[in-house]
Amino acid sequence: MDSAGDTIKDMSTGEASTPFVRGAGHVDPNCALDPGLVYDTGTDDYISFLCALGYTAEQIAVLTRDGSVTDCSTRSGSVGDLNCPAFSVVFGSGDGKVTQRRVVRSAKATYTQVYTATVTSPAGVHVAVEPPTLQFSATQQTQDRVRDHLRAAAGRRDREVHVRVHRVE
């Protein structure tokens, strides 16, 4: 939505835009100095993502250029498990349920922080966030069991779905 409450349109088609068209938005330098939750994504996360996409060990070696050999058969997960704040799902003809996992770290490690999830999702899509509340302290800075379950109603299958999960202090 834009500041007037209207749907943001795709300039090339005139249709309602998707997160892929809108992009990441503008940088807010003040928020960048105090990010709250961080979705750390490392090289290993991207290698698992490439495996889930069906890349071969030879194709991955071209990208990593470190001489290592990747055995994708030992890696579990799906394309949707790339550790980033975005959730995008295409529901197939199966049961219409997708589970995606995220690992978050608190950038405010000096004191206790509690974050509660709120969800914005399209009609016909149910989203459950487990756990709904995350608590961080100086001794527990990472939560690695964050799961977001997305279930589509029968009429939503085979459709692209974009969901926003906000974690607010």
pTM for the full predicted model = 0.64
**Residue 147 sits in which domain range?**
28-168
pLDDT exceeds cutoff 90 at 59: yes
Domain assignment present for 161: yes
CA nearest to 148, candidates 131, 134, 129, 167? 129
17: in domain: no
Prior bond of 29 cis (ω within 30°): no
* 63 in a structural domain: yes
Contact (CB, 8 A) for 127 and 102: no
100-159: pLDDT as tens digits:
888 888 777 667 778 887 777 777 777 777 787 888 877 766 765 555 555 555 444 444
Domain contains 81 = yes
How much of the chain, in percent, has pLDDT values that exceed 90?
A: 14
Q: 85: Cβ–Cβ under 8 A, 6 or more apart, which residues?
A: 39, 102, 165
Q: Inform me whether the pLDDT recorded for 55 exceeds 90.
A: yes
Residue 1 forms part of a structural domain: no
With CA atoms as reference, report the closest residue to 41 among 101, 103, 115, 94.
103
Between 7 and 151, the higher pLDDT residue? 7
Which CATH number is 142's domain given?
Answer: 2.60.40.2310
Domain membership of residue 4 (yes or no) is: no
Query: d(Cα 100, Cα 117) in Å, to the nearest integer?
Result: 15
Helix axes 57-64, 43-53, angle to 10 degrees: 150
The answer to whether position 73 is within a domain reads yes
